[in-house]
Structure 1
Amino acid sequence: MSAAEIKEIISFVGIGLLILAIALIQLSRRKLQGIFSIIISILAYICFITGGLIVLFIVISGPTG
């Protein structure tokens, strides 16, 4: 696999983590209560930060040539 394909796969993982974070936040705010809501929210924010950093790294690193 070339460097561009690896970066593409890594960016898909980052986008997937961002989508997962959205789903977990919606779940914790609408369906869960108490300690479960807090745990899922913390997990969602971890996914959000990780996914955001991955996407930021891919964008800043620029095109592969």
Structure 2
Amino acid sequence: MSSMDKMWASFIAIALMVGASFLISFARSKTTGVLRFILSTIAFLLFVPILLYMVVSIL
């Protein structure tokens, strides 16, 4: 992989991390019940591609 591809992979990972952080913060402060659980689950599932993009950017 070229250095530019690794840079873009790290930018994508950072953007997904920011999105997951805002999503979990919103879910915990503004929602309750089933919606809170769904938003928290989506935020947690975002960590799978975040982890993959992080590994790609390191290697």
What are the ranges of 5 or more consecutive residues in structure 2 without an aligned counterpart? none
After TM superposition, the structure 1 = structure 2 runs for residues 20-39 of structure 1, keeping only pairs within 5 Å, are: 20-39=19-38
Cα RMSD (Å) of the superposition? 1.6
Distance of 2:10 and 2:37 partners within structure 1: 28
- Calculate the TM-score normalised by the size of structure 2: 0.84
Paired position in structure 2 for 1:53: 52
Whether the aligned pair in 2 keeps the contact of 1:18 and 1:52 (CA below 8 Å) is no
Instruction: Name the count of aligned residue pairs.
Output: 59
Larger radius of gyration: 1
Q: What TM-score, normalized by structure 1, do the two folds share? A: 0.78
Structure 1 distance, partners of 2:33, 2:42, is 15
CA contact (8 A) 2:9 2:56 kept: no
